Amino acid sequence: MSEAEQRILGSGNHLRLVSRAGWEFVERIGATGVVAILAVTEDDRIVLTEQFRPAVNAFVLDLPAGLAGDVAGAETEPLVEAATRELEEETGYRAERFRVLATGPSSAGLTSEMITLFEATGLEKVGEGGGDASEQIEVHEVPLSEIRSWLWEQSRVGRLVDPKIYAALYLAALD
């Protein structure tokens, strides 16, 4: 079925609810993609972010992440540039190298959104991080050797852990 044969059921500032072939799903408005970054410091620490997410009404531990093409004047922003920008905004780190780990749907039954996972290395701390003016992000640096137990403990005390963390760690270890 072509995209022309879809119906828009509703729209907000950032999302649109669409029906296609009897299936309802969400499309993002004003972005061309999503990036998430597995940032690894020179001393093998994984840089994670934590923020309150209203959709799940809980604090979520996740990879530094964000949208591509959502900045006015940069609507055709390449994914690696979005990854560079988001990593620095959220964590205060700048990376020398980015490597694509995978690209795929973030939740194929719910949204048309595609996410690209990057590994970032050669990190240099250049700022505070914490996100842009609309975000309150806490940055965690966890030794790779302790990441599984640390994530388990965070989950045990009620924080939600984004499974993309595990996927990115697995994919980075394949090489």
Q: How far is Cα 41 from Cα 150, in angstroms, rounded to an integer? A: 17
- State the number of CA atoms in the 13 A half-sphere of 149 facing the CB: 4
Give the pLDDT band (50/70/90) at residue 1.
low
pLDDT band, very low/low/confident/very high, at 119 (cuts 50, 70, 90) = very high
Average pLDDT over every residue of 140-164: 97
* Consecutive H or E run containing 138: strand 138-143
Contact between residue 120 and residue 86 where contact means Cβ atoms under 8 Å apart = no
Measured at the alpha carbon of residue 64, what is the angle toward residues 83 and 89, in degrees to the nearest 5?
70
Task: Find the mean pLDDT for residues 88-105.
Answer: 97
Secondary structure of the chain: what % helix, strand, coil (to 5)?
20, 45, 35
> What is the distance between the alpha carbons of residues 112 and 143, in angstroms, rounded to a whole number?
34
Is the pLDDT at 60 greater than 80? The verdict is yes
What's residue 2's pLDDT?
58
**What pLDDT was estimated at residue 50?**
97
CATH number of 31-173: 3.90.79.10
What is the average pLDDT across 149-156? 97
Q: Over range 93-113, report the average pLDDT.
A: 96
Average pLDDT over residues 124-134: 82
Beta bridge partners of 53: 58
Query: Residue 4: its pLDDT value, please?
Result: 60
* Structural domain boundaries in the chain: 1-30, 31-173
For the entire predicted model, the pTM comes to 0.91
Q: Between 163 and 31, whose confidence is greater?
A: 163
How large is the average pLDDT for residues 46-72?
94
Mean pLDDT of the chain: 93
Residue 6 in this model has a pLDDT that exceeds 80: yes
State residue 145 phi and psi, 5-degree precision.
-65, -15
